[in-house]
């Protein structure tokens, strides 16, 4: 679980870098580059959502955080939350334990 949490946070940074890549490909009008970075973005996001699971209540914290911040359309806070993720958002179980 601890390793998964580390991978989870690394993916957050990969997502940020990927967003920069998407913006860059948009700017230069490279459609293939844009397509590849968009696919990568979705892949990273899916991995992130399914990577961490609370061993206390079975919730997937990644899915919760994604759902909450998509609702508020605030991706800055989404990244802040993923990087700072320590406890389950539902039962507040410490994800570093297990």
Q: Where does this chain bind Zn ion (CB under 5 A)?
A: 54, 56-57, 59, 88, 90-91, 93
Asked if 86 and 1 count as a contact pair (C-beta separation under 8 A), the reply is no
Least distance between Zn ion and beta carbon 62 (Å)? 12
66 and 91 Cβ atoms separated by less than 8 Å:
no
Q: How far is the CB of 90 from Zn ion (least distance, A)?
A: 5
Q: How far is the CB of 64 from Zn ion (least distance, A)?
A: 9
Nearer to Zn ion, 18 or 53 (CB): 53
**How many residues appear in the chain?**
98
- The answer to whether 11 and 43 are in contact (CB under 8 A) is no
């Amino acid at each position: 679980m601890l390793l998964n949490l580390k991978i989870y946070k690394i993916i957050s940074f990969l997502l940020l870098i990927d967003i920069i890549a998407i913006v860059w490909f948009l700017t230069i009008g490279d459609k293939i580059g844009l397509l590849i970075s968009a696919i990568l973005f979705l892949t990273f996001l899916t991995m992130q959502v399914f990577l961490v699971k609370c061993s206390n209540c079975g919730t997937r914290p990644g899915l919760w955080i994604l759902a909450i911040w998509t609702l508020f359309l605030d991706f800055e806070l989404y990244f802040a939350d993923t990087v700072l993720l320590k406890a389950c958002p539902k039962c507040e179980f410490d994800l570093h334990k297990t």
